[in-house]
Amino acid sequence: MSAPQVVVARLSHESHAFSRLRTTLAEFGREELLFGDEIVERMRGTRTELGGIIDAAQAQGWQLVPTVSACASTAGPVTRAAYDALTEPMLRALAEHPHVAAVVLSLHGAMFVEGLPDPEGDLLCRIRQQVGPRVVVAATLDLHANVTDAMVRYADILTSYRTTPHVDQYEAGQRACALVGRALAGEIRPRVHLARRDMIAGMDLGRTLREGPMTRLHARARAWEQREAAVLDVSLNAGYYMGDVYEAGPSVLVVGDGDAALCQRVADELIDDAYRWRDQKTVHLQSVDEALARCREPAQGRGPLILADYTDGPGGGGYGDATALLQALLAANLPGTLVGLLHDPESARQAIEVGVGQALDLRIGGKTDPAFGGGPVAVRAQVLAVSDGRFVRSGPFKTGTPASIGASALLQCGEVQVIVASNRVQAEERGQYRVLGVDVERLNVLALKGINHFRADLEPIARGIVFVESGGIHATDLRTLPYRNVRRPLWPLDDTAG
């Protein structure tokens, strides 16, 4: 008996509806863009969904048909040309392999394509139309997915990350493949059940590092899985509230085998819990002035005080170049302070051109849209180090995968150091700083552009974290955003929601 053929692909993007940036094919090329056998060569052994899928396929004796792996940093909508270019290899592979047993995808779930508000639903629909009803179609999702009815309709299996920061991507890939294997063996006939309520925010943005609504929901979800044989897998999705789509917001997915009424009841009870706890949070933002006051307090413990410039975090769609916090720190001029990564390819290029040891005048940051967090800041800077920005992730997030902050420079501005980088990337791990010779453990203050993922590697070595509201585009008051497509009424946008 020949090995089952399984088509595998990754297409991941979290699309910020209100960003002025567009996500082109080149943006995917800067982050991750692999084709064919290169996917297995590069992703085997990594702590990613694809790493988990590749290992599971080998263990189950599948013949993998790798097609495309594409991921880009959170930004504005994906261009239609990029979407078409990235989905074509998947659909072509299905045409060339008419006897595939399964399709396993790694998706985000909150992508938006120009003129196509539900691209994941569209892709799953096109795949289902091509393979027919008997081929098993599975996908992993980011837990910030805005799960649509179409995604549920056309997939047999959907399973999401269970951690934020997302350190269980490998396990999500393994979990999806375990269910696929059972379906191929005829042990189960999986079906996805969905529940959502009238909210666009909630579940504490999916955070699992501290006891809170998400950890309580997970405990209840795991109990259902252990207690009821029909409940194969429960996913809790916090949603992505910067996605202006009809079905945006938190959801619960239950992959069930029989007893559809029970599976739907599980999903409904969990989303009802999430709605009751919708305003509970484990992170509370402070003003720039409050953050500066913390910096001036005597250090309690070892390691840097981290100032997370939350509303400008690229991981949530921030531009990564807002300067309100930078200006305050330059004025404070506290020794041992580092600001970065600041997205500013122009300043990085100018610093690299003059060379290490040289001084120059720069206007750093604030060039994408000064209305969100401040415009460029004039500084006299000495170039301490330069780098091409390439490294291999060694922290808990996406371990073993190549990454780059782009051509970059470490600058000295008075007592404050600043990293200007060519790539707009979120703070993830210490490796981003080591490429410029910086050991963040020795800093007094580290002001970074981050929301969640940096916490996996950096929180353990920090003496504290202050999450800062600096006026960036990753707004915290959702009523200030010009939503046009979400369903209404919806909490917290409308007082009548619920």
Where do the H-state alpha helices sit in 69-212? 80-96, 119-131, 149-154, 169-184
**pTM score, whole prediction:** 0.95
**5-276 CATH, one of 3.90.245.10, 3.30.360.10, 2.160.10.10, 3.40.50.2300:** 3.40.50.2300
- Domain ranges in the chain are 5-276, 288-475
Instruction: Work out the pLDDT band at 496, boundaries 50, 70, 90.
Output: confident
Burial letters 181-203, b for 16+ CB under 10 A, else e: bbbbeeebebbbbbbbbbbbbbb
Cα distance between residue 298 and residue 296, in whole Å: 7
Instruction: Work out the pLDDT band at 2, boundaries 50, 70, 90.
Output: confident
Judged against a pLDDT cut of 90, whether residue 241 lies above it is answered with: yes
> pLDDT for 181-233, tens place per residue?
999 999 999 999 999 999 999 999 999 999 999 999 999 999 999 999 999 99
Query: How far is C-alpha 183 from the chain's CA centre?
Result: 29
> pLDDT for 345-395, tens place per residue?
999 999 999 999 999 999 999 999 999 999 999 999 999 999 999 999 999
Judged against a pLDDT cut of 80, whether residue 318 lies above it is answered with: yes
Instruction: Work out the pLDDT band at 495, boundaries 50, 70, 90.
Output: confident
Q: Give the pLDDT score at 498.
A: 60
Mean pLDDT of 418-443: 97
Query: How far is C-alpha 74 from the chain's CA centre?
Result: 7
Cα distance between residue 455 and residue 457, in whole Å: 6
The strand ranges marked E within 134-230 are 136-141, 157-160, 191-196
Instruction: Work out the pLDDT band at 246, boundaries 50, 70, 90.
Output: very high
Mean pLDDT of 433-444: 97
By three-state DSSP, how is residue 325 classified? helix
Q: Give the pLDDT score at 299.
A: 87
